[in-house]
Amino acid sequence: MKDIDIVNWALLKLAQRPIAENEQRYEKYKSIIPALHQSMLRSFIWGFAKRVTSISPLYLKRCDITRFALPKKCLRVLEVNLSGEIRGGGFEAQGEIEQNLNIKYLKSVPLEDCDPLYKEAFAFKLASELCPLLVGDNQLRAYLADCHKNLMADAVDKEAIEIVDVRENQESYYG
Percent with pLDDT over 70 in the chain: 89
Under the banding of pLDDT at 50, 70 and 90, the label for residue 56 is very high
Domain final residue pick, 107, 125, 154: 107
79 belongs to a structural domain: yes
Domain residues for the domain of 89 are 49-107
pLDDT in tens, 112-121: 999 888 999 9
- Rounded mean pLDDT, 14-41: 93
Domain match, 31 and 117 both: yes
Q: Among 6-10, 69-73, 145-149, 158-162, where is mean pLDDT lowest?
A: 158-162
Are 124 and 148 in a shared domain? yes
Give CA–CA dist 125/146, Å, rounded: 10
Which of residues 89, 107, 125 is at a domain's end?
Answer: 107
Lowest mean pLDDT among 22-31, 78-87, 96-105, 155-164: 155-164
- Domain final residue pick, 107, 123, 153: 107
Q: Are 34 and 114 in the same domain?
A: yes
Q: What is the pLDDT of residues 73-105, one digit of tens each?
A: 999 999 999 999 999 889 998 888 889 999 999
User: Which ranges of the chain does DSSP label H, i.e. alpha helix?
Assistant: 3-13, 24-30, 33-43, 116-134, 138-157
Same domain (yes/no): 17, 95: no
Same domain, 35 and 72: no
Looking at the structure of the chain, the number of domains it has is 2
pLDDT of res. 160: 67
Q: Which residues, in sequence order, are CB contacts of 103 under 8 Å at separation 6+?
A: 52, 53, 54, 55, 68, 70, 71, 77, 79, 80, 81, 91
Residue 174 within any structural domain of the chain = no
Residue 35 lies in a domain: yes
Same domain, 116 and 164: yes
Domain-embedded: residue 114: yes
pTM for this model (two decimals): 0.79
**Can you give the pLDDT at residue 95?**
83
Q: Is the pLDDT of residue 107 over 80?
A: yes
Domain identity same for 59 and 132: no
Give phi and psi for 85, each to the nearest 5: -145, 160
Whether 58 and 94 map to the same domain: the answer is yes
> Does residue 66 fall inside a structural domain?
yes
Q: Is residue 175 part of a domain?
A: no
In a shared domain, residues 40 and 126: yes
On whether both 11 and 90 belong to a single domain, the answer is: no
* Confidence at residue 170, expressed as pLDDT on a 0 to 100 scale: 41
Model pLDDT, residue 142:
92
Asked if the structure places residue 173 within a domain, the reply is: no
Q: How confident is the model at residue 169 (pLDDT cuts 50, 70, 90)?
A: very low
Residues 43-67 have a mean pLDDT of 84
